[in-house]
Structure 1
Amino acid sequence: MWMAELITDKGLGQGMSILIFMSICSGFLPQLWEIGWGTKGTDGDWAKFAAVVGVLLVIMILVIYVELSQRRIPVQYTRRMIGRKMYGGSSTYLPLKINMSGVIPPIFASSILAVPTLIAQFGNSDQSWVKWINSNLANTTSVWYIALYALMIVFFCFFYTEITFNPDETADNMKQYGGFIPGIRAGNATSRYLSYVMNRLNTVGAVYLLFVALIPTVLIMALNLNTKLPFGGTTILIIAGVGLDTLRQAKAQTEQFQYAGFLFEGTDHKEGK
């Protein structure tokens, strides 16, 4: 906790997120090495190693591309006279991410699916319901697990976006400040348009999360791997999210120092120093 707070205070990003990021990355090389070299040093498969590394790079590029993508809805503000001054008349945009729910749906889905497995540990291993849970829900490559996992990801993707983004409130705020979407009437029409756009974005985001979350399971089944993959869908989303957030904060800090230096130089010049 002390190290996390120290990193946050220094402006290097969210300290706890960076520590989790480093913890995840530290396990990559040993697990990748186990796939290529094997547990005994001779039972590995370098072809599978190359396939896993290639898939990892492709997924990482896809995640970064999608996380940086936005649906920009143009917003125009009308001119308003307040006192003797004219305000407004500017144009901007409303940025909407494709994956607004982030890493929440896979985490919630995997957490809920872990509950039956936890309950089964208190039962007798000879009981039929315990056997069914162990063979279907405890096994991440089973059809039942994959189907339930996919359905929960889609559900939580729409559910989380529904409770975090309110089209009615956004439309009312735009109308209050004189903003409107070109070609769309302010008020209820704007709210319906935002809901329509969000449903389309959520559909694309849900498909994207399904692909990222299920590709490790598909890879295990396709390559018949006996070892655990060094990455999962949630892991990749966390790594990409923390990495991009850290880069944004580092860029903001750099720009702040540049502007500060520019202002100080201007002040010194005026004072004749």
Structure 2
Amino acid sequence: MKLADSLQNINKIPELRQRILYTLLLLFIYRIGSHITIPGVDAAAVGSSAQSHANDLFGLFDLFVGGAFTRASIFSLGIMPYISASIIVQLLGAVTPYVQKLQKEGEEGRQKINQYTRYGTVLIAAMQAWGVSVSLASPASFGKMVVPDPGFFFIFSTVVILTASTVFVMWLGEKITESGIGNGISLIIMIGILAVFPQSMLAEFQSVSLGSKNWIIEVLILAFMVLIVAAVVMLTVGTRRIPVQHAKRVVGRKMYGGSTQYIPMRVNTAGVMPIIFAQSIMFLPNTFLSFFPESEVMQSVAGIFAYDSWWYALMFGTMIVFFTYFYTAIAFNPKEVADTMRRQGGFIPGVRPGKSTADFIDNILTRITLPGAISLAFIAILPTFLIKFANVTPGFAQFFGGTSLLIIVGVGLDTLQQVESHLLMRHYDGFMKSGKTRGRR
């Protein structure tokens, strides 16, 4: 009943209704594009050989693009080149004075940074498209010929098509963010992940029906999945509130201040960005190795970066911890918070304003980020343990944790909060009013 009332409230707000319909339309266009095959490729031959590539470049990308790789789609690269370009630009912002200057120039600087990110997206997409075209043209990649007429024209046309398609997907994401609801880039990644969920569920239950797995064990695994989802939600919305008091002051005949407010510091301030950043970096080695499909040495090295290997789990978890601290430092600046509090006459009880307040906030942020980063890394590499010890299929294991679950929960909650903000601004009840979601505070 509560859900039905919220849906009716959404329908009563024309702007919100139009934003949601616009978002669904662009996501539908993205899904249509993921079913259009690259010209010159035998899609049936690629699909029949997809199982042998579950742990290499094709399998990694295929998870984020909704099966576009198994269909040799024009959207095979998805939005990941844009994510990789964003990582590079943000890293440059931490070490390059010119980019740091642009970050402080407000809207004009942000537009220039976005422009550089787009240029980087085109360059990275072209490199990855080249690797994909070489892999498709080589019979050694699939054990059979999937391109009837390989040659320079096929490679050139594939690079152009995949690069242009990536730019188009990037444009879709930006339009969703601008005129739709939610973060467009994150929604595109999430919709690609959800697209393969029914197929993964079907494969898992088929293994149970064939007798290769015990149904009691499967029920326990599903119950464990529910617990993991609940833990991810708690990690996503968990906050530490710092009390802030404001001194009383008289302006005219009115008295202001004297109230207590709170600074909500999330345990996972960085959200899903560390997962996306780390996953994008892990794509790069396989992109390079795909240039050498006939080299046994290179393909043996590629086995290290298979997402069910221990080395991959160790490197992936370490990078998640690093990017969690890195992105938290970018998203939350204790010094700016302390300066804003001092200008507004606020202070933390027992802490002197200024540098002492900044150090106090930074100390708390560091302490709560550490367990958040470790929990994030553990959940991200959990599918490796499930594949090794619980005999869970690789596709289904990604929804017990890993990148897939974290992105789905994080993006889903963020989108719901944006919908709720539209409802509350117009005095309607949101989706999470009756729940105990601490992020609502």
Correspondence list, 1:40-55, <5 A: 42=210, 44-45=212-213, 46-47=215-216, 49-55=218-224
Aligned AA for 1:4? T
Structure 1 124/220 Cα, relative in aligned 2: closer, same or farther at 3 Å?
A: closer
Asked whether the equivalents of residues 4 and 15 of structure 1 are also in contact (C-alpha less than 8 Å), the reply is no
Aligned AA for 1:194? I
| 1:51-82 Cα distance to aligned partner (Å, 9 max, x none) | 44223211110111222221000000001233
Aligned: 1:32 with 2:51 = no
CA-CA distance at 1:223 after TM superposition: 1.7
Asked whether the equivalents of residues 175 and 186 of structure 1 are also in contact (C-alpha less than 8 Å), the reply is yes
1:161 aligned partner: 328
Aligned: 1:88 with 2:107 = no
Query: 3-state DSSP class of the match of 2:395?
Result: coil
Correspondence list, 1:148-227, <5 A: 148-227=315-394
Aligned AA for 1:85? K
Distance 1:114 1:248 in 2: 31
Asked whether the equivalents of residues 232 and 406 of structure 2 are also in contact (C-alpha less than 8 Å), the reply is yes
2:66 aligned partner: none
Distance 1:251 1:142 in 2: 41
Asked whether the equivalents of residues 12 and 246 of structure 1 are also in contact (C-alpha less than 8 Å), the reply is no
1:119 aligned partner: 288
Give the TM-score normalised by the residue count of structure 2.
0.52
2:23 aligned partner: 4
CA-CA distance at 1:113 after TM superposition: 1.4
Percent identity between the aligned chains?
36
| 1:137-185 Cα distance to aligned partner (Å, 9 max, x none) | 2x12223211111110010000000111111111011011110000111
Stretches (4+) displaced over 4 A: 5-9, 15-23, 249-260
Distance 1:166 1:15 in 2: 22
Among residues 133, 156, 161, which one is paired with 2:301 in the alignment?
Answer: 133
1:62 aligned partner: 231
Query: 3-state DSSP class of the match of 1:96?
Result: strand
Distance 2:418 2:394 in 1: 37
Structure 1 259/111 Cα, relative in aligned 2: closer, same or farther at 3 Å?
A: closer
| 1:176-212 Cα distance to aligned partner (Å, 9 max, x none) | 1110000111111101100100001110110110121
Query: 3-state DSSP class of the match of 2:318?
Result: helix
| 1:96-154 Cα distance to aligned partner (Å, 9 max, x none) | 110011111111111111111111111264353x14421212x1222321111111001
Distance 2:278 2:413 in 1: 24
Asked whether the equivalents of residues 241 and 265 of structure 2 are also in contact (C-alpha less than 8 Å), the reply is yes
Asked whether the equivalents of residues 77 and 90 of structure 1 are also in contact (C-alpha less than 8 Å), the reply is yes
Query: Structure 2: any 5+ residue segments left out of the alignment?
Result: 1-18, 27-175, 430-441
Structure 1 250/221 Cα, relative in aligned 2: closer, same or farther at 3 Å?
A: same
Distance 2:197 2:304 in 1: 28
Structure 1 24/131 Cα, relative in aligned 2: closer, same or farther at 3 Å?
A: closer
Give the TM-score normalised by the residue count of structure 1.
0.81
Asked whether the equivalents of residues 170 and 191 of structure 1 are also in contact (C-alpha less than 8 Å), the reply is yes
Query: 3-state DSSP class of the match of 1:228?
Result: helix
Distance 1:228 1:103 in 2: 20
Asked whether the equivalents of residues 334 and 359 of structure 2 are also in contact (C-alpha less than 8 Å), the reply is yes
Among residues 229, 236, 239, which one is paired with 2:405 in the alignment?
Answer: 236
Structure 1 91/157 Cα, relative in aligned 2: closer, same or farther at 3 Å?
A: same
Distance 1:194 1:148 in 2: 30
Asked whether the equivalents of residues 76 and 181 of structure 1 are also in contact (C-alpha less than 8 Å), the reply is yes
Aligned AA for 2:237? L
Asked whether the equivalents of residues 182 and 418 of structure 2 are also in contact (C-alpha less than 8 Å), the reply is no
Asked whether the equivalents of residues 12 and 249 of structure 1 are also in contact (C-alpha less than 8 Å), the reply is no
RMSD: 3.0
Structure 1 258/202 Cα, relative in aligned 2: closer, same or farther at 3 Å?
A: closer
CA-CA distance at 1:227 after TM superposition: 4.4
Say how many residue pairs are matched: 256
Query: 3-state DSSP class of the match of 1:108?
Result: helix
Distance 2:417 2:226 in 1: 21
Query: 3-state DSSP class of the match of 2:414?
Result: helix
Asked whether the equivalents of residues 37 and 44 of structure 1 are also in contact (C-alpha less than 8 Å), the reply is no
Structure 1 227/98 Cα, relative in aligned 2: closer, same or farther at 3 Å?
A: closer
Greater RCO, 1 or 2 (C-alpha within 8 Å, sep 6+): 1
Aligned: 1:97 with 2:116 = no
